[in-house]
Copies of this chain bind each other. A is one copy, B any other.
Amino acid sequence: RKLWLSYDAGQAWIVISLIGVCIGLNASFLNIVTEWLSDIKLGHCSTAFYLNENFCCWGAEDGCPEWKTWSTVWPVNYLLYILFSILFAYTSAILVKSFAPYAAGSGISEIKCILAGFVMKGFLSGWTLLIKSIGLPLAIASGLSVGKEGPSVHYAVCTGNVISRFFEKYRKNAAKTREILSACAAAGVAVAFGSPIGGVLFSLEEMSSNFPLKTMWRSYFCALVATAVLAAMNPFRTGQLVMFQVTYDRDWHFFEVVFFIIIGIFGGLYGEFVIKWNLRAQSFRKKYLKQWAIAEATFLAGITAVICYSNMFLRIDMTESMEILFHECEGGHDYNGLCESSRRWHMVTSLTFATVVRVFLVIISYGCKVPAGIFVPSMAIGASFGRTVGILVQALHEAVPNSRFFASCEPDMPCITPGTYAFLGAAAALSGIMHITVSVVVIMFELTGALTYILPTMIVVGVTKAVSDRFGKAGIADRMIWFNGFPFLDNKEDHSFGVPVSHVMNQELTVLPSTGMAIREVETILESTEFQGFPIVQDRNSKLLIGYINRTELKYGIDRAKRERTIPPTSRCYFLAPDQTQTPASTVGMTIASSRPFSSGSSSLSLDFARYIDPTPLTVHPRLPLETVMEIFKKVGPRVMLVEHRGKLSGVVTRKDVLKFQFKVENRENPRDDSAEVG
């Protein structure tokens, strides 16, 4: 038995490792393809067309003769750039539409619901995995303002789901599978950002409604394996996991906190603004563009390419532009004169334009029917805004260097590092859109290694969080959940309704009496209702509760009986609590079992479903406050609870009942325009 137990415990680790390896491999494949597709828009490698610019010009800096742009005249290049963008977006959209509609969008909201126990068939299938893995590089390379982390989480979770299906333990046990999926979500973020600990924390803070320490340790392991595989594959050939390594020579000064707070406020406002308008765009999309998903994505890619080619920060890849914006000016990191004080006003204009246009593009692009995340675009927006602030502060300092405000600056030395403002801006925007805190701080470190800026980062993120809490109650993932009406109990809020559970329970019950029901009647009930299960009572008048039977179990029981022998439709069904002879000392609850009138299975005319019955469903008192009921739903996680008083069943309450009531109350208190518009 010990051996079996240790195999059983070990199995989880085998599964996790396997999943981690696959996620890591997939991530490196995606990275390579994305790079190549992005570069092919601008030119091609004359030695081997399958090489991207970096590999083509291996070792050389700033291009090489082997890498050729498509033409020497810029209008042709411009046109080709637009054409490639459109082509990529079109391919991606058509793949998604034809093979796996679930592969569209980010997937984070849906996975949140799945991890909370909601079932969505096909959302984590192998097809979705395949199409998401092919469509994602195309969507990113098309230049749309979309990122790869949401989809990364999605394909990671798909991988986990597909692989764990091969193991019986997980095929049978949904709860155990969910543990694995939580770990996969962590690995997804980990490989998207090269940030293993950030991934674990993201899974903890944003994805999971229930995160015991065991899951944390699994997530840690899965993220570690995936990241290690990614590092070993080394797709960028830089040997670095850290995406944008920066070193800031100067420490920060206390007076800068003022500007950090401004950046933090921007983050909160940005998040709120984008969420609000993006939801409007979504509801417009739902109403009018349902048929035109492919055309829409293609059109968006075209528009994006046309607009963005003109601006130096919009034209290049978002990751690349962030890297440029994060760097300090010292040490030869200059890009098109970003650091020259003579071009300062030009840069401010250019960055502001980039910020505004990108915000607009994100609002209309996020949610279109290609794989699309919102992390990187948000960070890019934050970075360009932050850099603008940084440049302005620098200008201010140079204008009045002797002001008392700047007293702590060393004289005649550069004092402000605009790059750090870009860094903080990215953190603020990310926190603003997702409403997460700790994970943002950790992700930003792991992305850059800017450890001396830990306090500023925490301040900025703290301000953003405070500002966003003023406005809205949740990040974009939760808002999407509400928008789509998924049944998800929000774990973040305390509710105080002041009503007992009897107020929301379902009183029109479909119950099964324990004896005397014909199989025909049972089957009619199964067909005519959609309940997930049925309470069993002694008889319909007394309503004395005996147990609960799941729809699937009941169906399985009937099917099995039918397979064994022919069942006349008038056969009687018996639903009596199973005889628990091992029940100790206590004699309570044994009365029913001992009064059982027949030996199971002896008569072909009476069917015994005892073994399928749960004799001890969770029951609550009708006057129990609704808050306590919600707490039990959230923390202990049953699907349904029976409301019973003194043995008598008075109602049934499900997650959905509670949710519906919560929605009603919340809408009465402060109507949300996003949900109002759809419903």
Contact = CB atoms under 8 A, between A and B. Distances in A.
Copies of this protein chain in the complex? 2
A584 B503 contact: yes
Interface in A199-224: 200-201, 205, 212-214, 216-217, 220-221, 224
A594 interface: no
A645 B647 contact: yes
Contacts of A455: 196, 224, 227-228, 231, 241
B451 A446 contact: yes
A585 B503 contact: yes
A312 to B, nearest CB: 29
Interface stretch (A342-350, A376-384, A631-639): A631-639
Nearest to A615: B623
A214 B492 contact: yes
Nearest to A441: B197
B619 A619 contact: yes
Interface residues of A, number: 77
A452 B197 CA distance: 13
A307 interface: no
B648 A588 contact: yes
A438 B216 contact: yes
A645 B593 CA distance: 14
Quick one: which of A251, A491, A616 has the most chain B CB within 10 A? A616
Interface stretch (A25-33, A120-128, A457-465): A457-465
Interface string A290-321: 00000000000000000000000000000000
A254 interface: yes
A61 to B, nearest CB: 21
B437 A446 contact: no
A143 interface: no
Nearest to A213: B492
A445 interface: yes
Interface string A575-591: 00000100111101100
28 contacts: A196-B458, A197-B438, A197-B458, A214-B492, A214-B494, A216-B437, A217-B465, A220-B437, A224-B458, A228-B455, A241-B454, A442-B442, A449-B451, A449-B452, A500-B583, A500-B616, A502-B589, A503-B586, A505-B586, A507-B585, A586-B650, A588-B643, A589-B622, A589-B645, A631-B636, A632-B632, A635-B636, A647-B647
